[in-house]
Structure 1
Amino acid sequence: MNVTVRLTGLLVVLLIGVVLGLQTAERGIHKVSGLPEQETQTFSIKKIDNGQMEIAVMGKEVQAAPGQIVNYVSTAGQTMGQAVKEGARAAIDWIARLFEP
């Protein structure tokens, strides 16, 4: 009986700690990114007339037509991928030349 009471007490304390931790984390997120009703300050997209869009990244505004949206992360990823492909191809060619008769 004594073990059951202690275990129940520990579980209640743990539950209270989890609830308080979640509330504290939510308040911290709201301090960093703003309230959910507000527009985010880090990234926002607005549609303008004639199919153009206005993109704001970290406060810097960029206007682009639908086919001209620049994704810097994608461009960097494609460049790195191409470099890895070329490096792997060069390494395989070098290893293949070692085994040529």
Structure 2
Amino acid sequence: MCDVVLPKRTLLIGGGILAVIVVYSSSQAPPGSTETGQTDTTCRVEVTADVLNVRVAPDGGAEVVGKFRLGAESDAGKTVQNGFRQLGDARWASSEFLRPMAGRDCG
């Protein structure tokens, strides 16, 4: 039996290449597509305000339960009440500052 000794640098480079191959080959489908290659039509929005408050109810006076910064993305529902779009259970944000993303069905 023959013992092979590899320099540390060769092992590190080989390991890095192997890690990139594993990550690349196990990556999921690109965003906006499904396993079958169809476009995902779930409503998704992008924030257009510098800071956007997320409120517990569709009311400008309702308790703030979170904030989004400019350019943030979020899944959203199709429900809009009093100028607020529902983002989830007890999570509403002003629809004026939410832009539906291309190819998404936001009603």
TM value normalised by structure 1: 0.31
Q: Give 1 or 2 for the bigger CA radius of gyration.
A: 1
TM value normalised by structure 2: 0.30
Report the structure, 1 or 2, having the larger helix content: 1
Report the structure, 1 or 2, having the larger strand content: 2
